[in-house]
Amino acid sequence: MNKPSLAQTAKAQLISRILGKKNSATAPPPAAIGQPRAAARVPDRYTRFDKHPGYEKMLVSKAASERFGLDNPFFHVHEGRAGATTQIDGRTYINFASYNYLGLAGHPAVDQAAKDAVDRYGTTVSASRLVAGERPLHRALEQALADVYQVEDCVVFVSGHATNVSTIGYLFGPKDLILHDSLIHNSVLMGAQLSGATRRSFAHNDLQALDALLRDIRGQYERVLIVVEGIYSMDGDMANLPALIDIKQRHQAFLMVDEAHALGVLGARGHGLHEHFGIDGQQVDIWMGTLSKTLSGCGGYIAGSRALVQHLKYAAPGFVYSVGMAPPLAAASLAALELMQQEPQRVAQLRARGKFFLQQAQAAGLNTGLAAGYSILPIILGSSLKAVRLSNQLFAHGVNVQPIIHPAVEEQAARLRFFLSSEHTEAQIVETVGLLRQLA
């Protein structure tokens, strides 16, 4: 091996000295040979969770609530099935804080299906479906959901929130654009952030603004995704599906509809937004929904083309690296879906109750915001303090409803949010609206 010449050695030493001088202002001096370098001094606020700014902010809110004599309205312990009524601390409450839209959570047929699944398959599949394989219940549920949306296939995830995060985060990237309604769910925002795509919002249900935005910037991106909700979870109104399909086709974009609160609610059979408008489900590229509301289970799903579903099943991190759905949950959701289709009167009853509540609330002069009279009805109060106080007062009178406060919504939009069930009676609604009129 040839040794470097003296000139080469001198040149290397000179370069090393020059670089050393350039880096000396920012680089710490090297530790002496054999001596450990002193540990960096890090402030307590970076090493303790009780000093985390989010936790400290929560403590400030808690102290303010205590100063005003308000009880914490969250994390009540329910002692049984939560439907139109619930048991808390041995007392029965009229309950408007559950997603049990069609009263199927706790239905004997749903419970029995879950019990039978435990007897046959156990409580878990013990690994990712990619590793542990399929169970018949998984595919039966997925095919039944695909049939509801008139599409080729479907895949179920173990978390509704993670369904959006993983699907959007995986399918789209830095060269893409994601456009969403300004009132879209947090899971969509987290998915967009994970993807690295450019994200833009448009004013709630303002499709002219969406169209104008696409005219201006569509050409700057490769893939474009438009995301809306079937029924908006905070306001109870819906998206204009025919207009959205027209826009997505003209601008060559993908359209994704989050049906978390629309399945079981919209359409004569509860099939959701496409049935409500009489539109072929294949005209939407990605249908998303959750199993924890109408379908009495837990998790989420994506329905669409076979290529979309196969792609997610083999590559989406939230599916590949998560355990497969527990058999009793898949069985419960499948049984609930079958009951929904066998008993469309549940859907009609829910719609009737939603319309009745809206009419009663508006007649009482309450601010119902954008509510369309379906499964969700907000009472806008314009103050987080007022929302928590009114929730406490209603609870004392035997009505369980949760406040939605800043930062979940803007302070001027703080509210009580009522979830309706087909099991609610008109008498329960009249009693509740009477209390609202008296206490608000």
Question: pLDDT (tens digit, 0 to 9) for every residue of the chain, 440 residues total?
Answer: 455 554 565 555 655 554 554 454 455 555 556 677 788 889 888 888 888 988 887 777 777 777 767 788 888 888 888 889 999 999 999 999 999 999 999 999 999 999 999 999 999 999 999 888 889 999 999 999 999 999 999 999 999 999 999 999 999 999 999 999 999 999 999 999 999 999 999 999 999 999 999 999 999 999 999 999 999 999 999 999 999 999 999 999 999 999 999 999 999 999 999 999 999 999 999 999 999 999 999 999 999 999 999 999 999 999 999 999 999 999 999 999 999 999 999 999 999 999 999 999 999 999 999 999 999 999 999 999 999 999 999 999 999 999 999 888 889 999 999 999 999 999 999 999 999 999 98
Catalytic residue among 187, 233, 292, 391: 233
- Identify the pLDDT of residue 270: 97
β-strand 85-88 against 91-95: which pairing, if any?
antiparallel
Instruction: Quote the pTM value.
Output: 0.88
204 is known as an active-site residue? no
- Give the single-character DSSP code of 281: G
Q: How far apart are CA 227 and CA 216, in angstroms?
A: 18
Domains in the chain, ordered, with CATH? 68-98+344-439 (3.90.1150.10), 108-342 (3.40.640.10)
Nearest residue to 84 (alpha-carbon basis) of 101, 72, 67: 101
Helix (H, G, I), strand (E, B) or coil at 422: coil
Please report, as a single letter, which amino acid is at residue 204.
Answer: H
Task: State yes or no: is 293 an active-site residue.
Answer: yes
Q: How many other CB atoms sit within 10 Å of the CB of residue 40?
A: 6
Nearest to 106 by CA among 331, 332, 345, 334: 332
CB 199 within 8 A of CB 172: no
pLDDT score at 177: 98
Residue 79 is predicted with a pLDDT of 85
Buried b (16+ CB within 10 A) or exposed e, 94-112: bbbbbbbbbbbbebeebbe
> Which of 293, 296, 384, 424 is labelled catalytic?
293
What is the chain's alpha carbon radius of gyration, rounded to the nearest angstrom?
Answer: 27
CB 117 within 8 A of CB 327: yes
* 285 neighbors 227 (Cβ within 8 angstroms): no
Among residues 161, 261, 274, 424, the one annotated as catalytic is 261
